Amino acid sequence: MKHLKWLRRLVALTVFCATALLFLSDGLLASGLAKILTWPQFAPSLLAFCNQPQLTALAWLAVIILTIFFGRIYCSALCPLGIAQDGATRLFGPKKRRFIPAIPRWHYGIMTLTIVTFIVGHGLILRLLEPFSAFGRILNQIARPVALALRWLAAKILEYFEMYLIAPPSWPPWALSSFAIASFTLVLVAWLAARHGRLYCNSICPFGALFGICAKRAVFAPRIDAAICTGCRQCEAICKADCINARERTVDRSRCVACYNCLSVCKEGALRLRPGQTKGQTVLSAPMPGGKIKRKKPSAARPGKPETARRALLASLGATMACFFLSKRGQAAPDTPIQVPHPEKPTTIPERRAHPVSPPGSIGIAHFTDYCTACQLCVAVCPSRVLSPSLFEFGVDSMMQPRMDFGGGYCAFECVNCLEVCPVTAILPLSLAEKKLIQIGVARFIKENCVVHTEGTACGACSEHCPTKAVDMVAYPHPTKSNLKIPEIKADFCLGCGACEHACPTRPYRAIVVDGNPIHKKAKKPDFKPVAAPSDIDAFPF
Amino acid sequence: MDRRAFLKTACSSVAAVSALNFATSAAPLLAASPLDMAAVRGGEPDVMFDKAMSAFGGMGQFVRKGDKVLIKPNIGWDVEPERGGDTNPKLVGRIVAHCLQAGAKEVTVFDHTCDPWRHCYQRSGIERAVKDAGGKIVSGDSEGYYQKIAVPGGKRLRETAAHELFLEADRIINVPVLKHHGSSQLSIGMKNLMGAVWDRGYWHRNDLHQCIADFMSFKAPTLTVVDAYLVMRQNGPRGVSKDDVALMKSLIVARDFVAADAAAAKLFGVDPATIPHIQMAAEMGLGKIDLTGLNIDRIKV
């Protein structure tokens, strides 16, 4: 029993380091590690299941069952934000802690607000509070720049000695809102953890509230054996959830995160995980020194009506599921184009993108923004730096959800990193062959901006980069120059990868721009005649 | 940078370049072999390079003991070697081996790729080939490696930022792959050295052909090795599928980079004078577009 703490620590440390590695390794370790690590993450798993109900996406159910029987092991060993808080508590927290009564009304209120707003179609609160995503943003927005700076420093030192083993990294585009929110989350969570242990989990995290309800009657969760307890209160002093009331000899199992520190600290072995009483935290207390045996009701120690809140929760959870399945049925299939007001052919110089572009595999903007929790793992593993957290391009509610930013890069033709890692399947795990035919947008040529037109000099950077030659070069009659070619777009073959837009050299406005497809379409496969084999294989033409 | 500082840098780089040009051109003049160009057809890339080197009298003609050698292949695209988008990896590996055998202190290889650099280095097979041959493969994707230089001989390109390995190398071996190109008509040697600078957009905005020729006036490669084994004849420079390439089994090795490009253009079936950057470079006196006066060894394998 006493060694359970070490087992928990080992698992937690492994999960924490692997998650950090996943976000900080530039996608080198992405696909395999992401699948293993993100699979048991509760909210992503639940959303993935709602998106595609299949057995492999049932991790969320496993977590619920685990919590019902063993308490909130998830919060201690699998939730990276929870593990990070333990680090802050350990470093900055008080040496001696004491019991604090729960604040269930507030906590269940946040949970209900999160669920209700999500159901009516505003997922921002969920995205802000969901722990995996919040932690992902902290890694991506704060830890990653630090890691890149260290790598840059290492590269520069090696370069001084003429060693080129480490390449100085290129910087990802700055994403203001995501950085600000990640910084705020970091400061808030770290401060709460330092001052009050797991208070974030027990007063803000909507999933913490849910797990609290599940764990309230956990069979194998710590409790105090009043017959053995000497009342030394060391367990209360070490409890990071502040949920052990040693005076009353109760453990609030709904707030206990199953860290098992109390099991280790109790010299008498009075704290155990044993199945026994099932009536909430009611215990038969042995008398405190000089006290009197009495039976305590939980309502006296804890205000609020959790039973009602639980019913509300179950109802909303049911409603959430119903909403998802119903909304799925009504959703347009990816191949069916919806009517969008076609943008006017611009005659002015600014690009004026008709729609923002969502990543390939995300079916369309609506599907993507519905499911994405803005954990930004896709941003962290994108090798071409094209995925970038949005500001308000998808709408205020969707801020922080990644978009394709062709100023930073373009979608690499041979790459499926983001499709492989998305934990909520906001980006579906399609194969490379399928991805190569997804049209996420269509390039539009603005001749008035093109250097071939304005300068009469050769360019073609757009066509060079085009993987399907949807942007081709055709003869361009120019009054003074001969032999000029100018881009021409064959929209059927365009994938909207943005290679042309990224490469276009004109400034401040580019001469070619990708308008997003609100619902992705299927592009035609390029079909070119094979070149003729040369006949004069042995001749020298000079 | 104030004017005085600028003039100083400009003068010193002119001096450095002319000293280097003298050093690089003096070696072949003093050497016994008067050969200007070796053109080989009908073999595998590495075998053809061996033949060309024997014709020149060995890599020792170009690389001396203790030299820092830069090999600059085309690794621009994340495509397999069969697609002809990047220089043949067997050829690059063999050149690294020849340089090391000639006593080079170190042989480095990089390209400022278009597609994500790690993917390009890997899928092209060049990273593996270079490492196996004992060379160093270096990132060209890091802006920190690029240093500002003045291009005194340039008409449109007056300054740019070039990779420090390109600037520091004692010998540069330019190893382009011959292919069709949507912007510059053909991509051969001069176009390939566009991958040694950071900001290519500037070139595209400011008369691409002139900038290509201008940059060549800054530092000439010791040797140009044109890989024309698999030649992309349409949809260049990236290509769409294997249908874009033809097996031509050819290799051109030349001291004069303009002549190398001219010969490769002819091999492709195009008059080099119709490719503006080749014509411009010739007019700037950087090399010969007319191959008639050159001593060329034509080898069939």
Q: Which of residues 111-170 of B touch A (CB under 8 A)?
A: 114-119, 123, 136, 138-139, 141-145, 165
The pLDDT score that the predictor gives to residue B170 is: 97
Mean pLDDT on A466-479: 93
Confidence of residue A3 (pLDDT cuts 50, 70, 90): confident
Q: Which of A435-444, A508-517, A528-537 has the lowest mean pLDDT?
A: A528-537
Q: What is the distance between the alpha carbons of residues A337 and B209, in angstroms, rounded to a whole number?
A: 43
Instruction: Tell me which chain A residues have a C-beta less than 8 angstroms from the C-beta of B265.
Output: none
Mean pLDDT on A156-176: 86
Q: What is the distance between the alpha carbons of residues B187 and B192, in angstroms, rounded to a whole number?
A: 7
The pLDDT score that the predictor gives to residue A320 is: 53
The pLDDT score that the predictor gives to residue B24 is: 44
**Residue B168 dihedral angles phi and psi, to the nearest 5°:** -90, -15
More confident residue, A283 or B278: B278
Q: Best mutation site among B109, B183, B266 for testing chain A: the one with the most A CBs within 10 Å?
A: B183
Tell me the longest C-alpha to C-alpha distance in chain B: 57
Chain A residue with Cα closest to B266: A541
Q: Which token pair is A368?
A: 């993507």
Q: What is the distance between the alpha carbons of residues B281 and B213, in angstroms, rounded to a whole number?
A: 5
Chain B residue with Cα closest to A170: B142
Q: Are A385 and A409 in contact (CB under 8 A)?
A: yes
Percent of chain A with pLDDT over 90: 65
Across the interface, of B182, B238, B274, the residue whose CB is closest to A473 is: B182
Confidence of residue A314 (pLDDT cuts 50, 70, 90): low
The pLDDT score that the predictor gives to residue A337 is: 38
Confidence of residue A33 (pLDDT cuts 50, 70, 90): confident
Helix (H) or strand (E) holding A23: helix A4-24
Chain B residue with Cα closest to A386: B116
Instruction: Tell me which chain A residues have a C-beta less than 8 angstroms from the C-beta of B182.
Output: 460, 463-464, 472-473, 485
Q: Which of A189-203, A404-418, A525-539, B228-242 has the lowest mean pLDDT?
A: A525-539
In angstroms, the Cα distances linking A360 to A263, A353, A513, B205 are 49, 18, 17, 31
Please list the alpha-helical segments (H only) found in A430-533. 432-435, 451-455, 461-465, 499-503
Q: Using a CB–CB cutoff of 8 Å, tell me whether A503 touches chain B.
A: yes
- Per-residue pLDDT of A123-159, as tens digits, reads 999 999 999 999 999 999 999 999 999 999 999 999 8
The yes-or-no verdict on residue A304 having pLDDT over 80 is no
Q: Which of A215-229, A252-266, A500-514, B2-16 has the lowest mean pLDDT?
A: B2-16
The pLDDT score that the predictor gives to residue A117 is: 93
Residue with tokens 């900055």: A92
DSSP one-letter code for A304: S
Percent of chain B with pLDDT over 70: 89
The yes-or-no verdict on residue B179 having pLDDT over 90 is yes
Q: Using a CB–CB cutoff of 8 Å, tell me whether A415 touches chain B.
A: yes
Q: Which of A55-69, A223-237, A291-305, B136-150 has the lowest mean pLDDT?
A: A291-305
- Per-residue pLDDT of A427-468, as tens digits, reads 999 999 999 999 999 999 999 899 888 888 999 999 999 999
The pLDDT score that the predictor gives to residue A165 is: 86
What is the CATH number for B97? Answer: 3.40.50.11440
- Give me the number of domains chain B comprises: 1
Tell me the longest C-alpha to C-alpha distance in chain A: 111
Q: Best mutation site among B86, B238, B271, B297 for testing chain A: the one with the most A CBs within 10 Å?
A: B238
The pLDDT score that the predictor gives to residue A346 is: 35
| CB neighbour list of residue A464: distance below 8 Å, 6 or more residues apart | A503, B114, B181, B182, B183, B237, B238
pTM: 0.85
The pLDDT score that the predictor gives to residue A532 is: 87
- Per-residue pLDDT of A274-302, as tens digits, reads 754 434 444 433 344 433 333 333 333 34
> What is the distance between the terminal CA atoms of chain B, rounded to a whole angstrom?
55
The yes-or-no verdict on residue A303 having pLDDT over 50 is no
- Per-residue pLDDT of A361-372, as tens digits, reads 999 999 999 999
The pLDDT score that the predictor gives to residue A283 is: 43
Confidence of residue A315 (pLDDT cuts 50, 70, 90): low
Q: Which of A133-137, A186-190, A479-483, B198-202 has the lowest mean pLDDT?
A: A479-483
Q: Best mutation site among B113, B235, B288 for testing chain A: the one with the most A CBs within 10 Å?
A: B235
- Residue B219 belongs to what domain range? 3-300
- Per-residue pLDDT of A78-94, as tens digits, reads 999 999 999 999 999 88
Confidence of residue A482 (pLDDT cuts 50, 70, 90): confident
Q: What is the distance between the alpha carbons of residues A471 and A487, in angstroms, rounded to a whole number?
A: 6
The pLDDT score that the predictor gives to residue A445 is: 96
- Per-residue pLDDT of B141-168, as tens digits, reads 988 899 999 999 999 999 999 999 999 9
The pLDDT score that the predictor gives to residue B152 is: 94
Q: How many residue pairs from chains A and B have C-beta atoms closer than 8 A? A: 145
Mean pLDDT on B245-271: 97
Across the interface, of A169, A457, A473, the residue whose CB is closest to B208 is: A457
3-state DSSP of chain B: CCHHHHHHHHHHHHHHHHHHHHHHHHHHHHCCCCCCEEEEECCCHHHHHHHHHHHHCCHHHCCCCCCEEEEEECCCCCCCHHHCCCCCHHHHHHHHHHHHHCCCCEEEECCCCCCCHHHHHHHCCHHHHHHHHCCEECCCCCHHHEEEEECCCCCCCCEEEEEHHHHHCCEEEEECEEEEECCCEEECHHHHHHHHECCHHHHHHCCHHHHHHHHHCCCCCCEEEEEEEEEECCCCCCCCCHHHEEEEEEEEEECCHHHHHHHHHHHHCCCHHHCHHHHHHHHCCCCCCCCCCCCEEEEEC
More confident residue, A292 or B301: B301
**Residue B172 dihedral angles phi and psi, to the nearest 5°:** -120, 125
The pLDDT score that the predictor gives to residue A313 is: 54
Answer yes or no: do A164 and B108 touch at CB < 8 A: yes
More confident residue, B11 or B73: B73
- Per-residue pLDDT of A263-277, as tens digits, reads 999 998 899 887 544
Q: What is the mean pLDDT of chain A?
A: 86
User: Please, which residues bridge with residue A512 across strands?
Assistant: A445
Confidence of residue A318 (pLDDT cuts 50, 70, 90): low
